[in-house]
Every structure is written in C-alpha cells, then in structure tokens.
Structure 1
Amino acid sequence: MPVKYNVVERKNPNDPTAPAKFYASAKADGDVNLKSLAKEISGGSTTVSDTDVLAVLNDLIKVLNRHLSQGKIVKLGDFGNFQISISSEGAVTADKVSSSLIKSNKINFRPGADLRDMLRTVKYEKYNK
C-alpha cells in the first residue's frame, strides 16, 4: 500500500512577501500500537507468544529510556540508532554556556540499511478526502 499525501499551501518564512507555494505533505493512514505489533511478530516465523514479544518490547522501551537518559547512543543493529539531541540559546563566551541555556531536546532516530532502502523504493499516492 502506498504512502498517502496531502497538498498544503505554505509561505516562505524567509520571504513573507513571496507568493505561497503548494507542497506534498505525508498523511498518516492509521496507526499500529505495540500490542498489535507483538501479535504480528509472534504470528510470523517465531515460536514465542504475543505476550512474550510484548514483554520484550516493553523492556526495550525501559532500557532505551535508561541508556538515552545517560547520554548514550542506542544502536539496534539493522533497525537503526537512537540518540538525544538538544537545542540551546547562545552565549557570548564558552564559559557562559550552562545547562540553563538548553531550550529543548528530542530523540533522533537514524534508520538502518533496510529502512533506508524502503525509503528509496516507497510508492506515493495522493490522498482523496
């Protein structure tokens, strides 16, 4: 099934006087939760139950939290890597930089080879309301 997209109109933030242009914007087509992923994984070529898979995925979330909060990059092989990044206000000198200048943080995900390959071959379809 192809990825759906909407058409959205956007102004250029660098030039507010420029005419707006139209862009494709990915449209989510539902969601999949952890429980249904566990059922799908257990129904594949594995001999473990969906409860066992769900327990492992829940533990994965716990250890991701722990290691990311310690500043580590979590490498999950072919799946990809997770890492925290931060955004801060600037300071005049290096010695004036402190954690109080940090404005926000987020978790970056860098997909592994299989996911990058999928991105190169994914098909798209315009969303019809």
Structure 2
Amino acid sequence: MSVKYNIVERKNPLDKNAPSKFYASAKADGEINLKAIAKEIAGGSTTVSDTDVLAVLNDLIKAMTRHLTQGEIVKLGDFGNFQITISSDGAETAEKVTAANIKNNKITFRPGADLRDMLKIVKFEKYKK
C-alpha cells in the first residue's frame, strides 16, 4: 500500500506577482476510528477484548488531555511525544507580553523511532480519481 498524492497549484504568498507552481500534496485515502483500532489491537491478542482496549484508549485520551492542559509533555515511549505549542504576536518589550498576545495553539506530535523509520520507506503514488 502506498500514500496517495494530488497535484495542487499554489501562488507564492510572499510574492503575489510570481507565477504559480505545482506541488504534490498528500491525499487521505480513507480513515480509521478509535473503535476499529481497538478491534484490530484486540484481534492480535487472545487475552484482551476490543471493549477492554477501547476503554484503555479512551482513558489514555482523558489522561493526555489532563496532562497537556497542565503544560506537560506526554511521552508515550516508542509511539512518540505530544506537547502544546503556541504562537503569539510580538511586543516591544518582555513586560508587554501577556496571555492576550497568544493567538494560536496546537498539539505537536513528535513520532518515535518506528514511525520515523516508516517515513523513510513509505511509497507514494499519484491519486487516480
């Protein structure tokens, strides 16, 4: 199986007069939800049911939410790390920077070694409509 891609035309946001260029853009080809992943994990084990796995995954999400909102990095071993990152408007002095300067936040994921290694060998193919 390979990752599909589309070709998209984009203007240069820094130079509106520059000619457009064409770029490859990853195309999602389906999706899987938490319940299906739980069934898949349970299918590889004779000791745990998909209900048990789903319960653990749901509790993982709750625990991650709690720890991320406390400003902690959530380290999940070989899976990877999650952390909240922010962007803000600049100010003339450090004293003028307050929470009001924060304009955006997101959760950043840094994959573990196995996921990074997968990126080195993944195959790509053009998406066919």
* Superposition TM-score tier, normalisation by shorter sequence: over 0.9
Q: Deviations over 1:14-66 (max 9, x none)?
A: 11111111100000001000000000000013520000000000000000000
2:72 counterpart residue number: 72
Task: Give distance in 2, aligned partners of 1:44 and 1:24.
Answer: 36
| Superposition TM-score, scaled by structure 1 size | 0.98
2:89 counterpart residue number: 89
Percent of aligned positions that are identical = 77
Root mean square deviation of aligned Cα: 0.7
1:33 counterpart residue number: 33
Aligned residue pairs total 129
Task: Give distance in 1, aligned partners of 2:12 and 2:90.
Answer: 25
Q: Deviations over 1:65-96 (max 9, x none)?
A: 00000000000000000000001111110011
1:2 counterpart residue number: 2
Task: Give distance in 2, aligned partners of 1:12 and 1:101.
Answer: 27
Task: Give distance in 2, aligned partners of 1:60 and 1:88.
Answer: 29
Task: Give distance in 2, aligned partners of 1:46 and 1:22.
Answer: 49
| Superposition TM-score, scaled by structure 2 size | 0.98
